[in-house]
A and B are shown apart, each in its own frame.
Chain A
Amino acid sequence: MAVGEVMRMEVPTGGDLTVSSPDLHVLAVDDSIVDRKVIERLLRISSCKVTTVESGTRALQYLGLDGNTGASDLKDLKVNLIVTDYSMPGLTGYDLLKKIKESSTFREIPVVIMSSENILTRIEQCLKEGAEDFLLKPVKLADVKRIKQLIMRNEAEDHKTLSHSNKRKLGEDVDASPSSSSSSSSHDDSSVKDFPSSKRMKSESDIFSPFI
């Protein structure tokens, strides 16, 4: 299983591999039951698979970042995007963001922060920490559609860049042909992978330095 593999093809029950529109699996984190219901619907109606959890701690458990085997270790449940509320009791959305970005396994998963408060320093802090975007609550359908487009576009670019960079840097043992979009899955070595869009928030020089 690929480390940090972000884009999966969904295999329908017929067994044929559908290349046309892979579904994003989104993990939504919010302590408010009302907001969980709304974000779940917003995402479902935008053709995403959704798992909702009520806290940052639960999110880490789901991902398996608490040391145990998480539910998302199962191939079918691989998470492509995390959307989290900022103000939550216990682990805040910011804390969760940090933990995810500190993890070599999960740092490539884009994280979007939601908040009812439009505080510039808060927004900057989250973006600096690697958040993909910041949504002001109440979240609307247009926000979710925009995020989805952003994530899908970034993943498409990453796959293009990946096959190019593999061609340039490695030259050997890499199936970099355009038809094989699963070329990333054959490599566990994350140091040759190109960075996902969240890293665009960081400086140019970071993009070309290898993972530590």
Chain B
Amino acid sequence: MDTLVAQLQRQFRDYTISLYHQLFWYVKGFLDDQFTELKKLQDECSPDFVAEVVSLFFEDCEKLIGNMARALDQTGNVDFSLVGSSVHQLKGSSSSVGAKRVKGLCVTFKECCDSQNFEGCVRCLQQVDIEYKSLKAKLQDLFNLEQQIVQAGGRIPQVDI
């Protein structure tokens, strides 16, 4: 019979892998290896480093998406370079935390800005908003699993992707 810890650890492993990997060709992984790089920087001295960085990232998302929405709201007078510069910043920070899907969306979004495609920009903005919130929820689930493991007396497994 599986102990609670073993069950949780297995759940954690499976969930982590699912966040990185493509299940179908059109479903991109949520995370890339930059997320793994961030985990390397976490240790006993800095046990919440990853959670802190992603938290800053999600705050950044909110702020930048707000900027983009405001710029796109100026009907008839949209400053696409302004939207573009916010997209560039979002692309940068998503890249730094390993938020693969958000980063990918930013590439498309930037193209829409460069070609001043208003509808395209609005669609991209909606998708980016959905995507970062989705990632936020998933990472929260992952962090919760970690907590449960620790509380049950177990160690957080190292998952090799």
Binds B, one of A1-9, A119-127, A134-142: A134-142
B88 & A37 in contact (Cβ 8 Å cutoff): no
Minimum CB–CB distance for A161 against chain B, Å: 35
B60 & A33 in contact (Cβ 8 Å cutoff): yes
Contact A38 B96, CB 8 Å, known A138-B37, A141-B41: yes
CB within 8 Å: A-B pair count: 53
| In the complex, chain B residues 1-40 whose Cβ is within 8 Å of any chain A Cβ | 34, 37-38, 40
Known A41-B41, A137-B96; judge A32-B89 contact (CB<8 A).
Answer: yes
Interface of B is mostly: helix
A186 at the interface (CB under 8 A from B): no
B52 at interface, CB cutoff 8 A: yes
Contact A34 B56 (CB under 8 A): yes
How many chain B residues touch the partner (CB < 8 A)? 22
Partner of B40, one of A33, A138, A139, A141: A141
- In the bound complex, CA of A168 to CA of B46 (Å): 49
Complexed CA–CA distance, A38 and B37 (Å): 10
- Please tell me if B104 contacts chain A, counting CB pairs below 8 Å: no
B132 in contact (CB, < 8 A):
no
Residue of A nearest to B61 (CB): A34
Candidates A31, A34, A116; contact of B57 at CB < 8 Å: A34
Distance of A149 from chain B, by nearest CB (Å): 18
Q: In the complex, what distance in Å separates the CA atom of A121 from the CA atom of B158?
A: 41
Chain B's closest residue to A116 (CB) is: B92
A35: which B residues are within 8 A, CB to CB?
92-93, 96
- Is there contact, CB below 8 Å, between A32 and B41? no
Name the 3 nearest CB pairs between A and B, nearest first.
A34-B93, A138-B96, A138-B34
